[in-house]
C-alpha cells in the first residue's frame, strides 16, 4: 500500500501526468479533470473497463498492464494507495526522480483556491456527494466536483464548474481527507473502519475531529451516529448543523416510507417538507437530509433544494440494476462493511416484494474479513434468503494464512443458507440453481465482484429447471 504524505509539497505545475491504475474510481475522475484542463494524460491499468474506454475517448493514452516503459516522458506520476510498492512504474518514477503524487494530493492540487465542500464518513459518501452536486445543478449553480462513483444524472464522476464551490468525496481510509482546505465538512457517520490504517477506533475518531475542526465555515453531522456525536462533542468554536432521526436534529427526518423509491418528510426551521426520492432505501432519506443540511446552510431555498434532491438518479455501483433474466433482477452494490451491507440488503428487501434476496458476497481485505467475519455473517443471515460467499479480494493487502471467505460462511448458524464457492463459475451456477422468478440477486463488495454479473446472467439464461 502506498500512503499519502500529508506534508508533501505540491509542484506549481504538474505538466504531463501519468496515472498508475487510471481506471480506479478515484483516479479516473482526477484524470478527466486534468485532461479538461489541457494536460497530457497517460495511464495504465490491469484491465479494460468502461472508465478506461471513456478516458481514451477523452484523449488519454492508456496501456493495459504495468510496465516501466509506460511512464514515458511524464513530468508527474500519480498513484493510488492500492498499488504494491514494487510496481514497476512507481519504481521507475522513484529511480528517475519524477515527482510522485498520491491521488489525494493530485486532487488537492486541482481544488486549490476553491471553496471546498468535503463529504466524509465510513458510509454514504458517494451518494451524499452526488445528491449535493445534483441539487446544486438543478437549482442553477455550477459547482466543480469529484466523486467516488459516477453520478447517474451526468454520466461522469467529475467535472469543473464555473462557480467557486467544489464538492469532493473526501476519503478517510488513509487519512487523505485531512489534506483539503475544507470550508464545509459533511460527516455522514463515523463507523469504525479502516483500522488496518488507523490501528484503533480512537485514532479513527481523532482523524474526524481534526477534519471537522479545520473546516473554516461550518460542519454538518449525523444526529444519530454515535461516532459522529462523539466527534462533534469534541469540537471547539465550530458551527455544527445536525441531521437525522433524533428529535433534536436541526434537520429532522420523519415519516419514512421505504417501499420502492423512499419517501419521507424533513422538519426544518418550523417547516415540514415532503420529499420523494427517485431511488430506494431508507438510508438514502438520511443521506438526503445531510445534503439538504449542507445546501440550506449555504443559503439555498429549502423547497428548491428538495426539488433538486428529488431529481437525483443515483450513483454507479450503488444498488445498480444490471439486467433481468427469467424474472430475476441482478443488482450490484459497493457495500463492503457490515453497516453498508445491512443498508443495501434492506433496500433490496424494500423492492423485492414477495420474492427472495440472494446475495453474492466478496469479502474485501483480509484484515476486515478477519475482524468482521461474524458481523458480516449475522447481517447476511438476517437479511438475505441465501448467500454465496466468494474468496477475499485482498486489494492493497498481502494474504493472511487461514483468512478466506470461509471465515464468513462458517459463522452462519444455518449452514443451509450459505455456500462458500471460490470458483466464480460455480458460484454463478449455484445462484441460477437457487433463483426463481421474482427474486433479486445482488453482488456486494468494493472489489471486482461486479465482473461476475455476466456469468450470473448467462447462468440464469441457460438454466431451464
pLDDT at residue 28, rounded to an integer: 93
pLDDT at residue 372, rounded to an integer: 93
pLDDT at residue 195, rounded to an integer: 56
- Provide the whole-model pTM: 0.85
* Confidence at 446, pLDDT banded by 50, 70, 90: confident
pLDDT surpassing 80 at residue 197: no
pLDDT tens-digit readout, 103-156: 999 999 999 999 999 999 988 899 999 999 999 999 999 999 999 889 999 999
Which residues is 145 bridged to in the sheet?
159, 167
pLDDT surpassing 60 at residue 464: no
pLDDT at residue 194, rounded to an integer: 53
Distance of CA 312 to the CA centre of its chain: 16
- Average pLDDT, rounded, for the chain: 93
pLDDT surpassing 90 at residue 21: yes
Cβ-in-10-Å burial (0-12, 13-18, 19+) of 186 comes to: buried
Tell me what the mean pLDDT of segment 335-363 comes to. 93
pLDDT above 70 as % of the chain: 97
pLDDT at residue 196, rounded to an integer: 60
For 17-102, CATH number out of 3.40.50.720, 3.90.550.10, 3.30.530.20, 3.30.450.20 equals: 3.40.50.720
Question: Which CATH architecture is the domain 320-462 placed in?
Answer: Alpha-Beta Complex (3.90)
pLDDT at residue 313, rounded to an integer: 94
Q: How far is CA 433 from each of CA 381, 406, 421, 436, rounded to the nearest angstrom?
A: 19, 21, 14, 8
pLDDT surpassing 90 at residue 11: no
Tell me what the mean pLDDT of segment 48-63 comes to. 94
Tell me what the mean pLDDT of segment 5-9 comes to. 80
Tell me what the mean pLDDT of segment 157-186 comes to. 91
Taking the alpha carbons of 436, 442, 448, 453 in that order, is the dihedral positive or negative? positive
Mean pLDDT check: name the lowest of 66-75, 76-85, 161-170, 347-356: 76-85
What string of DSSP letters covers 323-371? EEETTEEEEEE---SHHHHHHHHHHHHHHHTTS-EEEEE--B-HHHHHH
- Domain limits, CATH 3.40.1190.10, in the chain: 113-310
pLDDT at residue 198, rounded to an integer: 59
pLDDT surpassing 60 at residue 30: yes
For the chain, how big is the Rg over CA atoms in Å?
22
SS3 322: strand
- Domain limits, CATH 3.90.190.20, in the chain: 320-462
More confident residue, 393 or 198: 393
131 φ, ψ (degrees, to nearest 5): -65, -45
pLDDT tens-digit readout, 243-299: 999 999 999 999 999 888 999 999 999 999 999 999 998 999 999 999 999 999 999
Interaxial angle between packed helices 302-310 and 282-297, expressed in degrees from 0 to 180 and rounded to the nearest 10: 140
pLDDT at residue 2, rounded to an integer: 74
pLDDT at residue 208, rounded to an integer: 93
Tell me what the mean pLDDT of segment 150-174 comes to. 91
Distance of alpha carbon 91 from alpha carbon 84, whole angstroms: 10
Q: How far is CA 40 from each of CA 78, 88, 104, 117, 194, rounded to the nearest angstrom?
A: 13, 21, 19, 28, 34
Q: What is the CATH number of domain 113-310?
A: 3.40.1190.10
pLDDT above 90 as % of the chain: 79
pLDDT at residue 362, rounded to an integer: 97
Amino acid at each position: 500500500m502506498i500512503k499519502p504524505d500529508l506534508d508533501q509539497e505540491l509542484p506549481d505545475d504538474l505538466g504531463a501526468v501519468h496515472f498508475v491504475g487510471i481506471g480506479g474510481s478515484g483516479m479516473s475522475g482526477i484524470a478527466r479533470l486534468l485532461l479538461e484542463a489541457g494536460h497530457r494524460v497517460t495511464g495504465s491499468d490491469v484491465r479494460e473497463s468502461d472508465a478506461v474506454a471513456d478516458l481514451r475517448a477523452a484523449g488519454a493514452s492508456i496501456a493495459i498492464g504495468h510496465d516501466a516503459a509506460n511512464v514515458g516522458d511524464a513530468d508527474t506520476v500519480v498513484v493510488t494507495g492500492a498499488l504494491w510498492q514494487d510496481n514497476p512504474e512507481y519504481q521507475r518514477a522513484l529511480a528517475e526522480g519524477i515527482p510522485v503524487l498520491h491521488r489525494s494530493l493530485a486532487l488537492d492540487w486541482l481544488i486549490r483556491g476553491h471553496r471546498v465542500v468535503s463529504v466524509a464518513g465510513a458510509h454514504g459518501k458517494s451518494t451524499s456527494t452526488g445528491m449535493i452536486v445534483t441539487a446544486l445543478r438543478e437549482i442553477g449553480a455550477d459547482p466543480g466536483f469529484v466523486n467516488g462513483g459516477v453520478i447517474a444524472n451526468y454520466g461522469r464522476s467529475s467535472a469543473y464548474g464555473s462557480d467557486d464551490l467544489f464538492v469532493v468525496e473526501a476519503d478517510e481510509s488513509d487519512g487523505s481527507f485531512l489534506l483539503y482546505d475544507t470550508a464545509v465538512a459533511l460527516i455522514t457517520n463515523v463507523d469504525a473502519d479502516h483500522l488496518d490504517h488507523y490501528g484503533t477506533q480512537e485514532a479513527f475518531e481523532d482523524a474526524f475531529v481534526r477534519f471537522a475542526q479545520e473546516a473554516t465555515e461550518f460542519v454538518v453531522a449525523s444526529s444519530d451516529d454515535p461516532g459522529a456525536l462523539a466527534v462533534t462533542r469534541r469540537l471547539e468554536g465550530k458551527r455544527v448543523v445536525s441531521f437525522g432521526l433524533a428529535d433534536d436534529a436541526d434537520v429532522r427526518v420523519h415519516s419514512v416510507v421505504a417501499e420502492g423509491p423512499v419517501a419521507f418528510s424533513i422538519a426544518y426551521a418550523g417547516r415540514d417538507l415532503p420529499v420523494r426520492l427517485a431511488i430506494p432505501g431508507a438510508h438514502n432519506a438520511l443521506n438526503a437530509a445531510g445534503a439538504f443540511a449542507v445546501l440550506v446552510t449555504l443559503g439555498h431555498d429549502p423547497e428548491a433544494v428538495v426539488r433538486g434532491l428529488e431529481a437525483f438518479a443515483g450513483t454507479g455501483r450503488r444498488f445498480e440494476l444490471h439486467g433481468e433474466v427469467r424474472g430475476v433482477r441482478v443488482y450490484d452494490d459497493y457495500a463492503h462493511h457490515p453497516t453498508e451491507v445491512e443498508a443495501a440488503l434492506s433496500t433490496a428487501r424494500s423492492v423485492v416484494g414477495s420474492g427472495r434476496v440472494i446475495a453474492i458476497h466478496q469479502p474485501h481485505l483480509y484484515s476486515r474479513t478477519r475482524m468482521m467475519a461474524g458481523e458480516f455473517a449475522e447481517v447476511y443471515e438476517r437479511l438475505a434468503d441465501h448467500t454465496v460467499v466468494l474468496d477475499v479480494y485482498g486489494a492493497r493487502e498481502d494474504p493472511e494464512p487461514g483468512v478466506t471467505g470461509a471465515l464468513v460462511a462458517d459463522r452462519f448458524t444455518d449452514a443451509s443458507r450459505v455456500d462458500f464457492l471460490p470458483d466464480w463459475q460455480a458460484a454463478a451456477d449455484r445462484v441460477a440453481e437457487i433463483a426463481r422468478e421474482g427474486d433479486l440477486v445482488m453482488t456486494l463488495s468494493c472489489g471486482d465482484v461486479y465482473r461476475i454479473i455476466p456469468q450470473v446472467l448467462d447462468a440464469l439464461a441457460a438454466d431451464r429447471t
